[in-house]
Amino acid sequence: MGSKGAVPRGTELDAGCRVRARKKTSRSWTKSKEVKFLSALADSCNVKFAARKASVSTSAIYERRKNNASFRAGWKTALREGYAKLELILLERALVGTETVIERRDGSIERMREYSNSLAVALLRLHRDEVAEPDIEPTSPQGVNEREVDEIRQRIARKLERLNRQLTGKSRGGADGEQGADS
């Protein structure tokens, strides 16, 4: 059993502190149920719907999320994916519109595209901060001052030299005269 008092996975202690195997039930968690739940959650962003798809109770799902870190991380990832899908659908509706078929009394049919201004405004509001400032990658050469980069490299090199001297015992108590200049 590995460490003293540890109970192997899939077992439990009965009232007499004897180890016995737990029976798998239809309510037991399986990897398959977890995959079904997380997949349905990513597709719908709806916990009750996803629970039904995985044949698990919502209370069991929330309990698992509370006690299982990897499941919690999978849950967050599934919701991120779900909301990204939802945002793409809404963005498409705002840009392309939705088709409406109008049937007249004379039997003729007309197709129209409708665009939701409120949907477009909501999407713009979500991304206002992102598009307000230009996106400059930290590794981009734009805006990088070469002199500052050289100064930083020199400071790092001096610190590394000082650390190396301290490790080899050559420098005692700041005899190199640079102490405090780069700290």
C-beta neighbour count of 123 within 10 angstroms:
17
Question: pLDDT tens for residues 30-45?
Answer: 889 999 999 999 999 8
Total-model pTM = 0.49
pLDDT per residue over 125-172, tens digit each? 777 766 665 555 455 455 667 777 788 888 888 888 888 888 887 645
Instruction: Note whether 115 and 94 are within 8 A (CB).
Output: yes
Note the pLDDT of residue 20.
Answer: 62
Give the pLDDT score at 178. Answer: 45
Q: What is residue 5's predicted lDDT score, i.e. its pLDDT? A: 55
